[in-house]
Amino acid sequence: MTDLVAATGKERREFLDLMRTEAGEGLEAAQKVLGISSQQFEGFVESVGRVCVIRHGDESAGFLWIEERDRGLHVHGIVVKQPFRGRGVATEALRLLEAQYSDSVGAVELGVHHANHEARALYEKLGYQTVHHVEDVGFDILRKAL
């Protein structure tokens, strides 16, 4: 059973650390797309949208960072902790998110680095399609209409 719960300050810092260690190239590319430094990125996590803990049973299995904007839901980051990978946690979390927002937004958007084959396979399996290439940073924007 997967659930999404608002993260505490300490959990947001844990999310930032995980993004830095686990989503390196993707994070750098995202910072370039946004035109911000690593320090500014930290401020973004605190001030933009909200970070949710992905709860799997009664354990914290990872994090989702989302923002509702212009009738769209932007997934700025998703990370599943190593021991929980390959068990459908990210699939369930994204499906849950889509179900929760299907009445209030028209589409979900997210970005993925060209080298991140795991994440791309996950998004494509769920029906996300590339709508924009940011060539110079090797980053694609994917969208799924709800």
Ligand X SMILES: CC(C)(COP(=O)(O)OP(=O)(O)OC[C@H]1O[C@@H](n2cnc3c(N)ncnc32)[C@H](O)[C@@H]1OP(=O)(O)O)[C@@H](O)C(=O)NCCC(=O)NCCS
Please give the residue ranges that form the binding site for ligand X (CB under 6 A). 22-23, 26, 77-80, 85-91, 116-119, 121-122, 125
Min dist CB 72 to ligand X, Å, is: 17
Min dist CB 144 to ligand X, Å, is: 15
Q: Which is nearer to ligand X, 68 or 118 (CB)?
A: 118
C-alpha 40/C-alpha 131 separation (Å) is 27
Q: Which is nearer to ligand X, 81 or 146 (CB)?
A: 81
For residue 109, what are the β-bridge partners? 74, 143
C-alpha 77/C-alpha 16 separation (Å) is 10
Q: Which is nearer to ligand X, 7 or 78 (CB)?
A: 78
Q: Which is nearer to ligand X, 105 or 142 (CB)?
A: 142
C-alpha 21/C-alpha 115 separation (Å) is 15
CB 63 within 8 A of CB 53: yes
> Pick from 49, 45, 40: which is nearest to 18 by CA?
45
Min dist CB 17 to ligand X, Å, is: 12
Min dist CB 6 to ligand X, Å, is: 19
